[in-house]
Structure 1
Amino acid sequence: MDELPVIVHRRTCPLCEAMCGLNVHVRGDQVERITPDPDDVWSKGHICPKGTTLGALHHDPDRLRRPVVKQPDGSFKEVSYAEAYARVDELLGPVIAEHGIEAVTAYVGNPLAHALDLSRYVGILIGMSGIPMIYSPGVVDQWPKNVGAHLMYGGMWKIPVPDLQRTDLFVIMGANPQASQGSLLSCPDIMGEIGAIQKRGGRVVVVDPRRTGTAAKASEWVPIVPGTDAAFLMAVVQVLFAEGLVNPGHVEQHLDGGQASLDELGVLVASWTPERVEEVTGVAADRIRGLARELAGTERAVLYGRIGLCNQEFGTLASWLVDVVNILTGHFDVEGGSMFPLPAAWTVSDLPMPELENGVPNFGRWRSRVRGAPEVLGHVPVSCLHEEISTPGKGQIKALFTVAGNPVLSSPEGDRLDSALPGLDAMISVDLWINETTRHADVIFPGLSALESAHFDDMIWMFAVRSGAKFSPAVFDPVEERPGEWEILIRLAGACLGTPMADFDVVAIDDGFFDVLAMAHGVDGAAAREHYTEGGPMRLLDLQIRSGPFGDRYGENPDGLTLAKVQEHPEGIDLGPMRPRIADVLDTANGKLLLAPAYITDDLTRLEERMSRGRPELVLINRRHLRSNNSWLHNVPSLMKGSNQCTLLMNPTDAASRGLSEGDLVRVTSESGSIELPLELDDGILAGVVSTPHGWGHGKDGARLEVAAGRPGVNTNVLSPGRLVDAPSGNAMVNGFEVSVRAAT
Structure 2
Amino acid sequence: MTTTNLPTGTTAKRDESAAQAGQSQSREVPSFCRICEAYCGTMVTVTDGRIAKISPDTQHPISQGYLCPKGKAIGKLITGPRRVRSPQHRSASGQFTAVSWERALDDIAVRLSKIIDDHGPQSVAMYIGNPSAFNPGMLLWATGFMAAIGSDQLHTPGPQDTLPRQLASERLYNSAMKIPIPDWPRSDMALILGANPLVSHGSLLTNPRIGDDLKSIVSRGGRVVVVDPVRTKTAAAFEHVQLRPGTDAWFLAALIRDALAHDDAAARGPRRRASNAEVTGIQALRAAVEPFTFEAVASLCDVSSEQIASVSEAFRRADAAVAYSRVGLCRNLSASTASYLVDCLNAVTGNLAVPGGSIFGDAPIDLVRLASMVGLDRSGRLRTRTGSLKEVAGLLPWTLPDDIETPGDGQIKALICVAGNPVVSAPEGERLATLLDGLDLVVGVDLQINETLAHAHYVLPTASMYEREELPIPSMHQMARPYLQLATPVVSPPEGVREEWQIFDDLAARMKLGPPLKTPKLPGLGVAARLGRAIGARLTPHQAVGAVLATSRSGDLFGLRRGGLSLKKLRALPRGVAIASRPQRSVRVNVGDLELLGQLASPDLYAPRHDAVLVGRRSTQMVNSWMRPRSVDSTLWVHPDDAQRWNLVDGCRAEVKSDTGSVEVPISINDAVARGVVSYPHGFGNKSPDHPHSVNINGLISSAPSAKDPISGASFLDGYPVTVSRL
Q: TM-score, normalised by structure 2?
A: 0.90
Counterpart CA distance in 2 for 1:593 and 1:691 is 36
1:727 maps to: 710
> What percent identity do the matched residue pairs reach?
32
Distance between the aligned counterparts of 2:526 and 2:417, measured in 1? Answer: 30
1:595 aligns with 591
Q: In structure 2, what is the equivalent of residue 341 of structure 1? A: 361
1:350 is aligned to 371
Q: 1:510 to 1:313 in 2, by over 3 A?
A: closer
Deviation (angstroms), 1:191: 1.8
Q: 1: distance between equivalents of 2:305 and 2:472?
A: 43
> Is the 1:207–1:223 Cα contact (8 Å) retained in structure 2?
yes
Which residue does the alignment assign to 1:586? none
CA offsets per residue over residues 115-139 of structure 1, 9 Å max, x none?
2421332231232220123111101
Q: Which letter does structure 2 place at the counterpart of 1:697? A: G
CA gap of 1:201–1:391, structure 2 versus 1, over 3 A, is same
CA-to-aligned-CA distance 1:2-26 (integer Å, 9 cap, x gap): 7523200111111111111010111
Question: SS at 2:465's partner residue?
Answer: coil
Deviation of the 1:151 alpha carbon: 2.1
Corresponding residue for 1:589? none
Choose the corresponding residue for 1:619, options 613, 619, 644.
613
Distance change >3 Å, CA 82–CA 3, structure 1 → 2: closer
Name stretches of at least 5 consecutive residues in structure 1 with no aligned partner: 584-591, 701-707
Q: 1:150 aligns with which of 161, 164, 170?
A: 170
Moved over 6 A (4+): 511-515, 524-529
Paired residue type of 1:621: V
Instruction: Please identify, of 162-171 and 309-318, the stretch whose mean Cα deviation from structure 2 is larger.
Output: 162-171
Q: Which residue of 2 aligns with 1:685?
A: 673
Q: C-alpha separation between the residues in 2 aligned to 1:654 and 1:618?
A: 9
Deviations 1:489-539 (Å, cap 9, x if unpaired)?
2344x3xxxx634x6654xx558889725799xxx999999xxx9730111
Return the alpha-carbon distance in structure 2 between the equivalents of residues 226 and 352 of structure 1. 38
Identify if the C-alpha distance between structure 1 residues 414 and 223 changes in structure 2 by more than 3 Å, giving closer, same or farther.
same
Amino acid at match of 2:259: L
Once residues 527 and 479 of structure 1 are traced to their aligned partners in structure 2, the CA distance between those partners, rounded to angstroms, is 31
Q: Give the conservation status (yes or no) of the 8 Å contact 1:245–1:296.
A: no
Residues in 2 aligned to 1:232 and 1:577: alpha-carbon distance in whole angstroms: 33
- Give matches, 1:58-207, under 5 Å: 58-207=78-227
- CA distance, structure 2, for counterparts of residue 517 and residue 202 of structure 1: 49
1:574–1:733 Cα change, 3 Å: same
Correspondence for 1:704: none
Matches within 5 A, 1:283-682: 283-347=303-367, 350-352=371-373, 363=380, 365=381, 367-382=383-398, 384-480=399-495, 483-492=498-507, 494=508, 500-501=510-511, 506=515, 516-517=523-524, 535-577=539-581, 579-583=583-587, 592-607=588-603, 609-610=605-606, 613=608, 615-634=609-628, 639-640=629-630, 642=631, 645-682=633-670
Aligned partner of 1:655: which letter? Answer: A
Equivalents in 2 of 1:189, 1:518: separation in Å?
Answer: 36
- Number of matched residues? 697
Instruction: Verify the 8 A CA contact 2:413 2:440 in the aligned structure 1.
Output: yes
CA 1:605–1:366 in 2, change beyond 3 Å: closer, same or farther? farther
One-letter amino acid matched to 2:600 = L
| Contact 1:10–1:24 (8 Å) recurs in 2 | yes
Q: Aligned partners of 2:659, 2:518: CA distance in 1, in Å?
A: 51
Find the partner of 1:23 among 38, 43, 54. 43
Q: Deviations over 1:159-181 (max 9, x none)?
A: 10101122121111100112211
Name the CA distance, whole Å, in 2 between partners of 1:479 and 1:458. 26
Deviates more, 1:314-323 or 1:147-156: 147-156
Deviation at 1:330, TM superposition (A): 1.2
> Which has the higher mean CA deviation after the structures are superposed, 6-15 or 546-555?
546-555
Counterpart code for 2:598: D
Contact residue 423 and residue 433 of structure 2 kept, 8 A: yes
Q: 1:59 to 1:560 in 2, by over 3 A?
A: same
Cα deviation, residue 63, structure 1? 0.9
The alignment partner of 1:726 has SS state of: coil
The one-letter code sitting in structure 1 at the alignment partner of 2:29 is H
Three-state SS of the structure 2 residue aligned to 1:459 is helix
Which residues of structure 2 form unaligned runs of 5+? 1-20
Give the corresponding residue for 2:241: 222
* Structure 1 counterpart SS, 2:616: strand
CA distance in 1: counterparts of 2:645 and 2:264, whole angstroms: 45
Q: How much does 1:263 deviate?
A: 3.0
SS in 2 for 1:593: strand
In 2, the alpha carbon distance for the partners of 1:44 and 1:251 equals 32
RMSD value over aligned CA atoms?
2.8
Is 1:272 the counterpart of 2:292? The answer is: yes
Is 1:254 matched with 2:254?
no
SS in structure 2 of the partner of residue 430 of structure 1: strand
For residue 89 of structure 2, give the secondary structure of its aligned residue in structure 1.
strand
Whole-angstrom CA distance in 1 between matches of 2:79 and 2:701: 35
Q: Does the 8 A contact of 1:696 with 1:712 survive in 2? A: no
Question: How far 1:74 moved relative to its partner?
Answer: 2.3
1:370 is displaced (CA, Å) by: 3.6
- Structure 1 residues 38 and 649 mapped into 2: Cα distance closer, same or farther (>3 Å)? same
2:62 and 2:615 map into 1 onto residues whose CA distance is 33
Kindly state the Cα deviation for residue 294 of structure 1 after the two structures are TM-superposed: 0.9
> What is the TM-score with the length of structure 1 in the denominator?
0.88
Is 1:737–2:725 an aligned residue pair? no
Q: For residue 341 of structure 1, give the secondary structure of its aligned residue in structure 2.
A: coil
State the SS of the aligned residue for 1:731: coil
Question: Which residue is equivalent to 2:263?
Answer: 244
Q: Quick one: distance in 1 between partners of 2:367 and 2:104? A: 31
Q: How far, CA to CA, are the matches of 1:718 and 1:413 in structure 2? A: 5
Equivalent residues of 1:546, 1:553 under 8 A apart: yes
Distance 2:352 2:53 in 1: 43
Amino acid at match of 2:562: P
CA contact (8 A) 1:178 1:214 kept: yes
Matched AA of 1:733 = F
The offset of 1:553, in angstroms, is: 2.0
Q: Secondary structure at the match of 2:725?
A: strand
Distance 1:542 1:375 in 2: 30
Q: Which amino acid in structure 2 is aligned with residue 235 of structure 1?
A: A
Alpha-carbon offset, residue 604 of structure 1: 3.2
Shift of 1:473: 0.9
* Gap change, CA 1:628 and 1:329, over 3 Å in 2: same
Distance 1:337 1:554 in 2: 37
How far the C-alpha of 1:411 sits from its partner, in A, is 0.2
Structure 1 pair 564–465 and aligned structure 2 pair: CA distance change class (3 A) = same
- Residues 86-141 of structure 1, C-alpha deviations (whole Å, 9 max, x = no match): 11123212211111112111111111112242133223123222012311110111
**C-alpha distance in structure 2 between counterparts of 1:688 and 1:476, whole Å:** 50
CA contact (8 A) 1:542 1:563 kept: yes
